[in-house]
Amino acid sequence: MRIETAEHLEAFRTELRAFIAQHSPGTKHHTGVRAPADDLVPAIRSFTAALFDAGYLGADWPEEHGGRGAAYDSREAFVVAEEIALARTWAPIGAFQLAAPALIDFGTDEQRAHFLPRIRNAEDIWCQLFSEPGAGSDLASLKTRARLAGDHWVIDGQKVWTTNGQLADVGYLLARTDPDAPKHKGITAFALDMRTPGVDVRPLREITGSSDFNEVFLDSVRIPVDRVIGEVNNGWRIANSSLAHERSGVASGSVELVAQLQNLVELASGDAGEAARDRLGRLAVHVHVTDAMSKAVQSHMLAGTDDASDAPLVKIFFSETNLAMTELGIELQGAGGIAAEGDADVAQDGWWQDAFLYARAYTIAGGANEVLKNVVAERALGMPR
């Protein structure tokens, strides 16, 4: 593992930290990938646009679209993710990190000219319309259909687990355009205007009390043919190419655990007991192992030597460590652990209660841990299905 702390990267980090302090939309009070309140969205859009303008986001884009070309150091993306997490502020919301590479690599000149500036100035928030009720971990089983009718595609189906769908302007949609083709072959990618008639976004109220995910119903939704991204029936390749670009997130999870560990230490500083402190010590080891794994995967990505096990193993280890930490955070409060966020005298403003309720989601989102363990076994270790 070699993540160099080059002088220019440390200068970059210092400059970025000051920039975030100046432009931050405020403190994020809950852990996880959460949807902001409506009144906070304008400030997050402004923050996103400022990050793009300053070159902290989109630096890896082609120069003609605002990137820095050969001057870009790919290590910077991990620094940006880490510093936003350390500042406990809002990361830019939406699926632009998936949509932009799809447009850059596969979109038409007209699509790039229209959408990329609107991503940079945060005029458009994107959402990811991939998962369905029967096609989550097995995404290629998606059933949403698209049929060609003149100069439009007509879409019918349902998506679910759409993060920030209630705030999105554009959806990065996968739909089946050839029902007779093998399941990986007959899928097409689209850019969907979320204000199109027939798009029905329904927020899902979660156990935390918030609505971060949505289900999206598509009833005879018409998408112009010039909003197909790439070639018809090539959507599986485009989606996988996009997902390969979504790399910097591996940096932020371990940073979140390190910050969370300090909260747990403060909570255990009273009459926690020897057994609780022993568990805390073991969890501290797991936190630092997760951070080391994250740094190793970053190193592999930068060197082009990452394999099928890298990101899944970090995600599995992170999510299980996170869950164990939140369980201890609740137990350390004794009877107070059953209090809810907002109750009088609840420890650390109820942060642990919300984190505990959210923690199980991390073991499912981005691929359920059970599925990812199969990925490691089959694709990395060559074991039989």
The residue type found at 282 is R
CA distance linking residue 248 with residue 98, whole number of Å: 12
CA distance linking residue 241 with residue 244, whole number of Å: 5
Does 370 participate in catalysis according to the annotation?
no
CA distance linking residue 381 with residue 360, whole number of Å: 27
CA 106 to chain centre: 22
Structure tokens at 181: 């083709």
Give 121's Cβ-side CA count (13 Å radius): 5
252: left (phi over 0), alpha (psi -120 to 50) or beta: alpha
| DSSP at 27 | B
Place of tokens 């890896």: 60
Rg of the chain taking only CA atoms, in angstroms:
21
Kindly name the residue from 206, 246, 320, 331 that is annotated as catalytic: 246
CA distance linking residue 176 with residue 190, whole number of Å: 11
| DSSP at 66 | T
Structure tokens at 271: 């009459």
CA 289 to chain centre: 22
Place of tokens 């620094």: 79
Torsion, Cα 362 250 242 83, to 10 degrees, reads 110
Which residues are catalytically annotated?
246
